[in-house]
Amino acid sequence: MGSSGYFETAVLAVKEAGKIHKKYFNQKFEINTKGTPFDLVTVADIEAEKKIVEVIRGYFPEHNFLGEENNYDKTDSEYKWIIDPLDGTNNFAHSLPIFCVSIALAKNDKLLLGVIYDPLREELFYAEKNKGAFLNGQKISVSNIDKLAGSLLITGFYYDRGKDMMETLDKIRQFLQLNITGVRRLGSAALDLCYVACGRASGFWEYVLSPWDFAAGKLIVEEAGGNVTGRFGETVLLEKSYIVASNGKIHKDMLDVLK
């Protein structure tokens, strides 16, 4: 283990969660809804979060936890683990193989590390503050494209069917008219951010994301040389946020469309 053991613990936890994903993926299981009929939760979400917290608490019992599927008693610790036990639940529920687990660690709300694991492709993305970003041990960096024309963008939709969704559809139209190569909607914000970090896409935006969706991915994009802001270029805090992530070179052009 490294001196703190934080990174190794996060890797252990995402691998355990990945085993749970694989156990249930493509099987029959109960699917429940949360706030809206489109916001799903499965036994895999619940079981994975329970396991992740159990693994991390085994090493750091005094730390705080912010998880999507459960509430945790607050402690005096300045450390907080931010956990999305299964990002891409709608895909998972439909046996569509695009999902992952995402874990970040923050100290006094500053991100120290982010680890995202796609168990089907066995892709482990990770970054520690000021140490670069990696995919399965290889250093990754954002794409070199410096204009919107020719770039591939990813977007996502929150679970509403209202004004913000309509606006996103309009932004897709605007981007396409600027001759981008295409827009993708993959269904896992954490993987979307990893794909910007490793250059598979040049930009990503989504109008409502929760800290567990973006915390780890934000650090991974930044450590890969990219940029993550709100839609007006503002700093993103660890709260519900509009997220714009890019390779940095097309960031201003993306903001010009999204603002």
Sites of contact with Ca ion (CB under 5 A): 68, 84, 86-87, 213
C-alpha distances out from residue 10 to 35, 57, 81, 125, Å = 29, 11, 9, 12
- The end-to-end CA distance of the chain, in Å, is 44
**Cβ atoms of residues 114 and 215 within 8 Å:** yes
The answer to whether residue 82 forms part of the interface with ligand IPD (CB under 6 A) is no
Token representation of residue 28: 């029959």
Which residues inside 123-182 make contact with ligand IPD, applying CB under 6 A?
156-158
Nearer to ligand IPD among residue 11 and residue 98 (C-beta): 98
156 binds, among Ca ion, ligand IPD, none (CB under 5 to 8 A by kind): ligand IPD
The answer to whether residue 188 forms part of the interface with ligand IPD (CB under 6 A) is yes
Nearer to ligand IPD among residue 67 and residue 156 (C-beta): 156
Stretch in the footprint of ligand IPD (CB under 6 A) among 2-10, 109-117, 138-146, 184-192: 184-192
**Cβ atoms of residues 58 and 74 within 8 Å:** no
Nearer to ligand IPD among residue 217 and residue 226 (C-beta): 217
Q: What span, in angstroms and rounded, lies between the C-alpha atoms of 171 and 162?
A: 15
Nearer to Ca ion among residue 84 and residue 128 (C-beta): 84
Which residue in the set 55, 80, 82, 89 belongs to the binding site for ligand IPD (CB under 6 A)? 89
**Cβ atoms of residues 207 and 171 within 8 Å:** no
Residue-wise DSSP of 50-64: HHHHHHHHHH-TT-E
Interface residues with ligand IPD (CB under 6 A) are 84, 87-90, 156-158, 187-189, 206, 209, 213
